[in-house]
Structure 1
Amino acid sequence: KDYGGREILAFYEIRTYDIKPSKMKDFVELVNKYFHLRTAHSELVGFWSAELGAMNKVVHIWKYEDFAHRTAVRHALANDKDWQGKFISAALPLMEKQHNEVAYLVPWCQIGKPPKEGVYEWVTFQMKPGGPALWGEAFRAAINAHINTGYTKLIGVFHTEYGLLNTVHVIWWNESPDHRAAGRHSAHEDARVVAAVRDSVRFLESQQNMLLMPLPCSPLK
């Protein structure tokens, strides 16, 4: 990427909301009804609800050109009476808590496009300190080994700038949960995958994952 260009400054805000268990259905209905008011202001990358690995949780990703762009968007949203009145005032009582992170795509990755509608696996890796300069090459080899098995499609690899540092989020698309399960089973018998993963875990502290379902408003389906 060109360091003189805008794209190098572009970042992604990952927002995670825990919804009150009794209010999850209401929250999703509210999003479906009014979220076009929010996407009028800036680019939504994806919006999902957790199905496995977490409950009553939604995750959404926003792309910004730079931090000034985000500040301008947040200011505009604060002054958008429709958004504040129809969505925010109704949504806040439905939430338990909100969390956000700022992350960059790793240099060797762009946002992938799914071939059709499916399910998403969100894998979070807590890495040893040092950043992509330390773990990037081995991690990329492990990612590519999984891509080469053909059962899954890479959507994005993000590393955090604000939030819990040394965190990497990897998003995969799969046709279905069972398609993923069968693919992973065969991948773990592939010597190339095993070798690449074994090399990359040297830099790994912990990992966790979620199975996510896209909401109707999500550009990534």
Structure 2
Amino acid sequence: MLGSRALFRGITAAWRGGAALQVSSSFATGPRQGDSTFYEFRTYTVKPDKMKDFLELTSKNIHLRTAHSPMVGYWTLEFGGMNKAFHIWKYDNFAQRAAVRAALAKDQEWQGKYMSQMLPLLDKQDNEIAYLVPWCELGSPPKDGVYELVTFQMKPGGPAVWGQSFKAAISAHIKTGYTKLIGVFHTEYGLLNRVHVLWWNENPDSRAAGRHYAHEDPRVVAAVRESVQLLESQRNFLLLPTGFSPLK
């Protein structure tokens, strides 16, 4: 058996030689992402009296940012948080993200027209890296509407522990037909064992009526009862798409 130092030297040599290192383990369980595509979730907390200025500035200049990489959606929070902007960006891999960030830092027009004017409007920035779960594809809305982001903090252990029961609960809600699933995302960087579920609804009232109906559906009740045994906390946000958001 190789000693730890010899093993480390072998790994280092493989990387330096450009070899694609494949690591597998008999302990790995459950489905995993089939490709390297991931999503960055960004939340900006804007100064309370600066939201109007922030949105106008962003609307005017966001094309400078999307020239570098694709935006999935851009929203403001209506319920669940105040003075916040939430946006999702798609990357093929971490190398692409690093290249995009480097290009943005050198983009004088982006830095001058947007970043230098936007940063003084903020109180706080947060980001997470997440993957779509293997059983979900990114959806699109049938028409303009509102969005609900539900964040679940699950018990430690990952999808091998809670993945199947969580999938069953989501599927039960989908089958009621009152809402449309846009995506289910599992965090890679940020709080671990966190799942974000993004839903589309026609308007807040249709969402409220649909939730009331779902809570009386025995299939939903049974699936949720099973899933919540592995749940630590849950929070939801009502999101309003901006005029420049690809997801409306």
Normalised to the residue count of structure 2, the TM-score between the two structures is 0.86
Larger radius of gyration: 2
RMSD of Structure 2 on Structure 1 (CA): 1.2
Instruction: Report the residue type matching 2:178 in the other structure.
Output: Y
Instruction: Report the residue type matching 2:134 in the other structure.
Output: P
Match of 1:79 among 83, 103, 106: 106
Q: How many residues align?
A: 217
- CA contact under 8 A between 2:34 and 2:134: conserved in structure 1? no
- CA contact under 8 A between 1:12 and 1:61: conserved in structure 2? yes
SS in 2 for 1:35: helix
- CA contact under 8 A between 1:45 and 1:62: conserved in structure 2? yes
Residue 192, structure 1, aligned to residue 219, structure 2: yes
- CA contact under 8 A between 2:187 and 2:193: conserved in structure 1? yes
Q: Which runs of 4+ in 1 moved over 3 A?
A: none
- Residue-by-residue CA offset, 1:16-55 (whole Å, 9 max, x unaligned): 1000000001001011100000000001001100001111
Give matches, 1:1-221, under 5 Å: 8-221=35-248
Q: Gapped runs of 5+ residues in structure 1? A: none
Counterpart CA distance in 2 for 1:72 and 1:216 is 28
Counterpart CA distance in 2 for 1:37 and 1:131 is 37
Question: Structure 1 or 2: larger strand share?
Answer: 1
Normalised to the residue count of structure 1, the TM-score between the two structures is 0.96
Query: CA shift at 1:132, angstroms?
Result: 1.4
- Residue-by-residue CA offset, 1:85-121 (whole Å, 9 max, x unaligned): 0010010000000001001110000111100000000
Counterpart CA distance in 2 for 1:7 and 1:168 is 18
Counterpart CA distance in 2 for 1:47 and 1:110 is 19
Q: Gapped runs of 5+ residues in structure 2? A: 1-21, 23-32
In structure 2, relative to structure 1, the CA distance for the partners of 1:211 and 1:166 (3 Å cut) is same
Counterpart CA distance in 2 for 1:203 and 1:125 is 10
- CA contact under 8 A between 1:110 and 1:156: conserved in structure 2? yes
Counterpart CA distance in 1 for 2:168 and 2:34 is 25
Higher relative contact order structure (alpha carbons within 8 Å, sequence separation ≥ 6): 1
Instruction: Report the residue type matching 1:59 in the other structure.
Output: F
